């Protein structure tokens, strides 16, 4: 192999090595990105399963309660004659 | 030269391995996303009744705890307004429509002319209708807020004329009270009877006993007892004898009050609120 051909061969392989490095960096970047997405999804899944596991209660320890409220009311009025008496009393007080 | 070729080969291997790892990661991401979506849809279906799906296995627990309050008066019982005639000692009103006039001469009448003492007060013709409208057995209790005592609800000094404690409640199976308004028709047999191992803890029983299974009955069905801040009415925190079967799932809570002739008339409506709790085992 002549010196010129050797140089050409080395030059070609160098650029090929550069290409590989670029692809590797790109792939590594995507791999890290995917891993990050996966971690986020797993976290979401765990928070889901934690919140959902609360009411399952297979042991039957938890209880459910239904509530309803009723009201009983009454209004007691003054007896008419006592109201009259009160009125007269008031009159006496204001007009002696 | 050979070393250079090896380096190139190693570089290619790393690229292939990384591409493979990336593909696996991508598939994993898609799978996880799909599973989360599936799980989310299942959880969204929940409406009080837990139902969960995990992968290939389906578990569906469907229990609905519901206690309805209805009847002719719905959620309000009003004894109206009025005063006691001067010639009387008291007027007794019951939410089952019964009025008793207590005259000054000592005679008590509950038949014709009974409203002479009670003037314009009203005796409602129906109490609170409690019904298990869910699909699981319940225990039932109440708590009272507002004017829950005789002194605060009505008052008056002629205590010797008070029937019982002046403000009383009783519970009766609706197969006996036959009050209309039940879902699926009026009961045909006694409610709160449990069944099986629950039988010994059954029947409507107004009590505060926590050791219900071994204690004697508090106030049995259809018997009046004093209104308090709270009571169990059927079962308790560990016994749930009110069945959801339409033929025996309801009862009526009646209220009986005695208004004395000297009850203070302050012109303000007096009331108490009963919150009924239907509890089921999870």
Q: What is the pLDDT of residues B225-275, one digit of tens each?
A: 999 999 889 888 888 889 999 999 999 999 999 999 999 998 899 999 999
- Per-residue pLDDT at A83: 57
Question: Is A20 within 8 Å of B12 when comparing Cβ atoms?
Answer: yes
CA angle A85, B101, B151 (to 5 degrees): 70
Question: Is A41 within 8 Å of B33 when comparing Cβ atoms?
Answer: yes
Q: B21 or B176: which carries more pLDDT confidence? A: B176
Q: How many CA atoms lie within 13 A of B10 on its CB side?
A: 6
- Per-residue pLDDT at B174: 95
Q: Is the pLDDT of residue B45 over 60?
A: no
Domain shared by B152 and B249, yes or no: yes
Question: Is B65 within 8 Å of A67 when comparing Cβ atoms?
Answer: no
- Per-residue pLDDT at B273: 94
Q: A86 or A35: which carries more pLDDT confidence? A: A35
Domain endpoint, select from B36, B60, B84: B60
Taking Cα atoms as reference points, which of B64, B178, B161 lies closest to residue A65?
Answer: B64
Give which of A15, A62, A68 to mutate to test B binding, by max B Cβ within 10 Å. Answer: A68
Domain that holds residue B27: 2-60
Domain count, chain B: 2
- Per-residue pLDDT at A30: 85
CA angle B187, B170, B244 (to 5 degrees): 30
pLDDT digits (tens, 9 = 90+) for A32-67: 888 888 888 778 776 666 555 444 333 344 678 889
Name the phi and psi angles at B114, rounded to 5: -65, -20
- Per-residue pLDDT at A84: 58
Residue in A closest to B84 by C-alpha = A79
Domain shared by B140 and B161, yes or no: yes
- Per-residue pLDDT at B146: 95
Q: B176 or B29: which carries more pLDDT confidence? A: B176
Q: B196 or B220: which carries more pLDDT confidence? A: B220
Domain shared by B12 and B100, yes or no: no
Domain shared by B147 and B260, yes or no: yes
pLDDT category at B143 given cuts 50, 70, 90 is very high
Residue with tokens 């090896």: B6
Pick the range with the lowest mean pLDDT from A13-27, B167-181, B252-266. Answer: A13-27
Q: A25 or B269: which carries more pLDDT confidence? A: B269
Share of residues in chain B with pLDDT > 90 (%): 39
Q: Centre a 10 Å sphere on the Cβ of residue B227 and count the other Cβ atoms it contains.
A: 26
Domain shared by B78 and B135, yes or no: yes
pLDDT category at A80 given cuts 50, 70, 90 is confident
- Per-residue pLDDT at B33: 77
- Per-residue pLDDT at B56: 56
Helix-helix angle A3-53:B2-44, to 10 degrees: 20
Q: Is the pLDDT of residue B44 over 60?
A: no
Question: Does an H or E element contain B9, and which?
Answer: helix B2-44
| Mean predicted confidence (pLDDT) in A1-16 | 71
* B182/B216 Cα distance (integer angstroms): 31
- Report which listed range, A77-86, B26-35, B52-61, B182-191, is most confident: B182-191
- Per-residue pLDDT at B211: 46
Domain boundaries, chain A: 1-54
pLDDT category at B49 given cuts 50, 70, 90 is very low
Domain shared by B78 and B37, yes or no: no
Domain shared by B158 and B36, yes or no: no
Domain shared by B39 and B113, yes or no: no
Could you tell me if B137 and B242 are in contact, meaning their C-beta atoms sit under 8 angstroms apart? yes
Domain shared by B167 and B264, yes or no: yes
Q: Is the pLDDT of residue B152 over 70?
A: yes
Domain shared by B54 and B98, yes or no: no
Q: Is the pLDDT of residue B25 over 50?
A: yes
- Per-residue pLDDT at B250: 95
Minimal C-alpha gap between B279 and chain A (Å): 4
- Per-residue pLDDT at A62: 65
pLDDT category at A93 given cuts 50, 70, 90 is very low
B138 DSSP 8-state letter? B
* B229/A3 Cα distance (integer angstroms): 106
Share of residues in chain B with pLDDT > 70 (%): 79
Chain A residues whose beta carbon lies within 8 Å of the beta carbon of residue B60: none
Give which of B21, B117, B158 to mutate to test A binding, by max A Cβ within 10 Å. Answer: B21
Beta strands B230-234 and B128-132 are unpaired
- Per-residue pLDDT at B275: 93
- Report which listed range, B10-19, B35-44, B82-91, B112-121, is most confident: B82-91
Kindly provide the ipTM of the predicted complex, given to two decimals: 0.72
């Amino acid at each position: 192999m002549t010196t010129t051909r050797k140089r050409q061969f080395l030059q070609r392989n160098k650029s090929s090595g550069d290409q590989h490095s670029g692809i590797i960096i790109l792939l590594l970047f995507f791999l890290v990105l995917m891993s990050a997405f996966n971690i986020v999804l797993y976290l979401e899944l765990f928070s889901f399963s934690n919140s959902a596991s609360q009411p399952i209660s297979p042991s039957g320890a938890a209880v459910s309660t239904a509530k309803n409220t009723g009201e009983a009311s009454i209004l007691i009025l003054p007896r008419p004659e006592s109201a009259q008496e009160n009125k007269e009393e008031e009159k006496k007080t204001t007009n002696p | 030269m050979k070393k250079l070729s090896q380096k190139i080969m190693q570089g290619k291997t790393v690229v292939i391995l990384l591409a493979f790892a990336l593909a696996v990661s991508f598939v994993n991401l898609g799978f996880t996303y799909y599973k989360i979506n599936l799980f989310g849809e299942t959880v969204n279906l929940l409406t009080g009744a837990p139902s969960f799906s995990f992968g290939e296995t389906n578990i569906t627990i469907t229990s609905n705890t519901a206690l309805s309050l209805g009847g002719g008066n719905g959620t309000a019982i009003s004894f109206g307004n009025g005063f006691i005639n001067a010639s009387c000692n008291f007027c007794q009103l019951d939410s089952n429509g019964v009025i008793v006039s207590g005259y000054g001469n000592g005679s008590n009448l509950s038949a014709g002319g009974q409203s002479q003492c009670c003037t314009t007060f009203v005796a409602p013709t129906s109490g609170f209708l409690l019904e298990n409208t869910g699909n699981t057995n319940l225990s039932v209790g109440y708590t009272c807020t507002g004017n829950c005592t005789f002194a605060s609800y009505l008052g008056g000094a002629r205590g010797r004329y008070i029937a019982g404690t002046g403000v009383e409640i009783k519970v009766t199976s609706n197969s006996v009270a036959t009050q209309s308004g039940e879902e699926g028709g009026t009961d045909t047999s006694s409610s709160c009877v449990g069944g099986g191992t629950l039988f010994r803890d059954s029947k409507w029983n107004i009590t505060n006993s926590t050791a219900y299974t071994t204690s004697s009955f508090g106030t049995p069905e259809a018997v009046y007892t004093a209104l308090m801040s709270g009571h169990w009415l059927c079962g308790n925190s560990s016994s749930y004898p009110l069945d959801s079967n339409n033929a025996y799932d309801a009862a009526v809570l009646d209220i009986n009050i005695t208004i004395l002739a000297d009850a203070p008339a302050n012109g303000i409506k007096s009331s108490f609120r009963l919150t009924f709790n239907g509890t089921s085992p999870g």
